[in-house]
Amino acid sequence: MNDFDKESRGGGGGRGGAKGAAKGKDDKGARRGGFFRRRRVCKFCVEKIDYVSYKDVKVLTPFIPERGKIQPRRISGTCAKHQRALQTAIKRARTLALIPYVTD
């Protein structure tokens, strides 16, 4: 549910009819309920982090959901530049067994 919210706001539309329908419904719900939708901003840009190190597990873990996959940009809101850096950092951390490849 939450992901849908973020997505529709992010202007990520045009991704197929099914999602478009869900978006319409969501919007209505938002108006009625009036719940707050947070603007997605890149956390690394906000914190002014220029180098994402594979050693800072604490920084990386928020971008790894339970399954152990790398969270997509469309959900986390990370900018392209930092997502790339994050990706290499996560992959390096994985080879060093600091972060799991898969969890279930």
Partner 1 sequence: MSIHRQYELVYIAMPDSTEEQLAELHQQVATVVDRFGGTIERTEPWGRRRLAYEINRQREGVYVLNILNGPAAMTAELDRRMRVLDIVMRHLVIRVDEVLEKETRTQTRRKAATVARRLRRGLPAEPTEQELSRRKAEADDADGGGMDGFGEGDR
Q: Where along the sequence are the contacts to partner 1 (CB under 8 A)?
A: 38, 43, 46-51, 53, 55-56, 58-59, 62, 92, 94-101
In the complex, minimum distance from the CB of residue 96 to partner 1, in angstroms, rounded to a whole number: 6
Measured from the CB atom, the residue of 27 and 47 that comes closer to partner 1 is 47
In the complex, minimum distance from the CB of residue 62 to partner 1, in angstroms, rounded to a whole number: 6
93 φ, ψ (degrees, to nearest 5): -65, -30
